[in-house]
Amino acid sequence: MSNYMIINNLTVLLLLLQSLIGFGKSIDRHALVTRHNVVMDSVNIISPLSVGNGEFAFTVDVTGLQTFETDYNRGMPLSTMSQWGFHTTPSPKGFTLDKFPLTMKDSYGRKVPYLYYEKGKSPAEWEEAANYLYANPSRINLGRLSMVLKGADGHLATLKELTGIHQELNLWTGQINSHFIFDGETVEVMTCCHPEHDQVAVRIESALIAKGQLSVMLEFPYGTTTFKGNGADWNHPEAHQTIMTRKGSRRADFARTLDADHYHAGLQWSEGSTINQTAPHSWKLSAPKNTRLIEFVAAFSSEELPDILPDISKTEVASVAGWKEFWSTGGAIDLSESKDPRWHELERRIVLSRYLTRIQCCGSLPPQETGLTCNSWFGKFHLEMHWWHAAHFALWGRSELLEKSLPFYKRILPKAQAQAKRQEYEGARWPKCVGPSGDPAPTYLESFLIWQQPHPIFYAELAYRSHPDRQTLEKYSELVFETARFMASFPVLDKKRGQYMIGPPFADAAEIYFSDHEHQWNPTFETAYWHWGLETAQRWRERIGLPRDTKWDDIIARLAPLSTKDGLYVDAETATGTFSEPGRNTSHPCILAPLGMLDGSMVDRGTMRRTLHKMMESWDWSNTWGWDYPMMAMTAAKLGEGETAIDALLMDKPKNTYLPNGHNTQMGETLRLYLPGNGGLLYVTAMMAGGWDGAPKINAPGFPANGQWVVHSEGLNPAP
């Protein structure tokens, strides 16, 4: 044996031993989590803190409440939001979806109706209806809880007057502890959320209370139909109604009416405080002048509240217990023994992303891209983004958190089936951007996107991998099979080529070629996803005792190959200018997804490796999005390029910025936070640490094997 071979074998053995270091050591989860507690010692209006439980979230400023809403609206808006809290403004002219004209688009000589509107291309008289249908329903701000903070001379405090600021989010307990000084007196505030109820608990201690300079205000706004913001309209008190339905010595309830929408709120406080109405939708909670303490809980519900709410002590205990259970079970990744100086930032992003997705991305509905912090796209959610918000839960041993939102698909299944039938397809065609009803709106893009179609199959497969039993098969088989039936009916067989063609019309996942729906076909990512989805649906048939569907097998075998040019993958067969045409090497790098997000069954690894390297060298990062960096890292990891994966995850680019509170911000006013980036980060890091189907049987196979990374992990499930 040559000296070179001996050295090479020793190097491989050393790397293998280094990769095994992470096995067997129990993680100190309390230390892992709490070393990333968020601490603020100054005002940061783009990085406020939130508490929540997946169905409800409450975002606060440095006072632990929403005292300086106007200031924060210039950065990150402060909201009180829930999964159920939506409002529909009255239609000025009776606009409804069933009245909106459909536009016919050609698909291989067949005219297919689409809910389409594009300014400048569609009739101008459609614009008002299209705008109304897109904006409604909108997610609303349920109410504002703030301090009435006055100086000794009676003036209202300004944000600049607060000094001695120290605010900490204790991740282990889910509590925000806020400290500041105003008018020479300290103020201490504890804020937390009940893990099972849409309820926030607050404790305020200060000599200012005894001086009559600090009280609490509960106020209710009208809803808005603005694209972004905190969902509150404070300028139209005449447009909505608030009725106090109950008032006692320690409790007040309110019935809210916004046009045809209704909800309930309740305030319960400690002994001695009193509540008084100050305006049509405003109530002040004041404590006796001989006390330094105000304690209360505020609850919100789509139904009437129970007679007794969990008090502040019970809410606090429940919060501590709930968060301890969350952090102590399921998956964990500890990077603290690594030598690479980037370990701390990557671990911080992981831990904070776990917190943020737990409070905003695991509810009964798919989350909007800004979660329950503030609005984007009127508070609606994007079903193609649901994967990036929530698929990671299954890899982190928390499949139940992903599955909480899957009944939504079952509920809207009849509408998805009706949409497919209307277009003369089979099965169920899933919408893109919707509210709780599952109804889409007429837009220039959304009705043509198709990459969300296989997602329900992916979710079902993740659920089955987490608990592979007959009950899971029966629970999700209808979603899998109806999704697959549409997928099988969408491609058209080109008899001359002997291949199934995907599209037209469609809009590509990168949204680069969406302006030409009718002249695009065989997109690279979608073709691979069709292959994966139909093959997975076939396995579900076999698991449940059914034979493979012969048509599905024919499509799987005869899908067009993934498109290439100059030895690189490109966006589509009809969009080959990804790297050669100006302005095309930008946005989502979806051509990497067939090996990374998917299993690579249609991929030539050499071509994919060259494509990855080309992207890392020449991609236009200015127009990327937060989940693009995890997407690149997934592909790098599966190619055995762990160092490239880390470089992609921690690339210093504006769209890959993670604020002190953990928000992946897109560094613009529209999307100050972008939860698909957080969710994508969690998926790829779980995959890199816990492995994937066919991964090397070593610890943390997706991390660099260069001796600089020591990865301890536990409770993770391998990715598909």
Please give the Cα distance from 529 to 237 (Å, whole number): 50
Q: Is 155 left (phi over 0), alpha (psi -120 to 50) or beta?
A: beta
Instruction: Tally Cβ neighbours within 10 Å of residue 669.
Output: 10
- Tell me the Ramachandran region of residue 120: left when phi exceeds 0, alpha when psi lies from -120 to 50, beta otherwise: left
CA distance 692 to 701: 9
The residue whose two tokens read 């103020």 is 187
C-beta neighbour count of 389 within 10 angstroms = 30
Sequence-separated (6 or more) residues with CB below 8 Å from residue 705: 15, 18, 19, 642, 698
**Cα–Cα distance measured from residue 458 to residue 449, given in angstroms and rounded to the nearest whole number:** 17
Query: Who's near 212: CB < 8 A, 6+ residues apart?
Result: 286, 289
| 526/700 Cα distance (integer angstroms) | 29
Burial of 248 (0-12, 13-18, 19+ CB in 10 A): exposed
Predicted local distance difference test score (pLDDT) of residue 3: 43
Assigned token pair, 20? 């095994």
Q: What is the pLDDT of residue 22?
A: 46
What are the backbone angles phi and psi of residue 67, rounded to the nearest 5°? -70, -40
Specify the length of the chain in residues: 720
- CA dist 184 and 108 (Å) reads 75
Q: Over the chain (720 residues), what is each successive 10-residue block's mean pLDDT?
A: 41 42 76 98 97 98 98 96 97 93 93 94 95 97 98 97 98 98 98 98 97 97 95 97 92 97 97 94 94 97 95 98 98 98 98 98 97 96 97 98 98 98 98 96 92 98 98 98 98 97 93 82 97 98 98 98 97 94 93 97 98 96 95 98 98 96 89 96 98 97 97 98
What's the confidence (pLDDT) of residue 11? 38
Q: Are 677 and 627 in contact (CB under 8 A)?
A: yes
Report residue 487 as tokens: 């997928």
Taking alpha carbons only, the member of 313, 210, 211 closest to residue 268 is 313
Judge contact between 391 and 421, C-beta under 8 A: no
Write down the pLDDT at residue 258: 98
Judged on CB neighbours under 10 Å (0-12, 13-18, 19+), 139 is: buried
Question: Which pair of tokens denotes residue 549?
Answer: 């569907």
Angle at 386 (CA atoms; ends 380, 388), nearest 5 degrees: 125
Helix ranges, 340-426 (H): 343-360, 386-390, 392-395, 399-403, 407-422
Domains of the chain listed by start with CATH number: 39-88+137-327 (2.70.98.50), 334-382+625-720 (no CATH), 406-619 (1.50.10.10)
Cβ-based burial of 234 (10 A; exposed 0-12, middle 13-18, buried ≥19): middle
CA distances from residue 278 to 156, 200, 219, 283, 401 in whole angstroms, order as listed:
16, 22, 10, 6, 41
What is the distance between the alpha carbons of residues 535 and 556, in angstroms, rounded to a whole number? Answer: 7
Q: What burial class does residue 708 get, using C-beta atoms within 10 Å of its C-beta: 0-12 exposed, 13-18 middle, 19+ buried? A: middle
Q: Write down the pLDDT at residue 4.
A: 37
Residue 274 φ then ψ, to 5°? -135, 155
DSSP of 646-710, one letter per residue? HHHHT---GGGEE-TT--EE-SSSS-S--HHHHHHHHHHHHHHHH-BTT--SSSSTTS--SSS--
Pairwise CA distance, residues 10 & 270, whole Å: 69
Name residue 58's beta-bridge partners.
51, 80
- Looking at residue 670, its pLDDT comes to 80
**363: Cβ–Cβ under 8 A, 6 or more apart, which residues?**
54, 55, 83, 372, 404, 405
Quote the pLDDT of residue 92. 84
d(CA 636, CA 166): 41
d(CA 214, CA 551) in angstroms, rounded, equals: 70
C-alpha span between 645 and 643 (Å, rounded): 5
Cβ atoms of residues 248 and 275 within 8 Å = no
Do 208 and 275 touch, CB atoms closer than 8 A? Answer: no
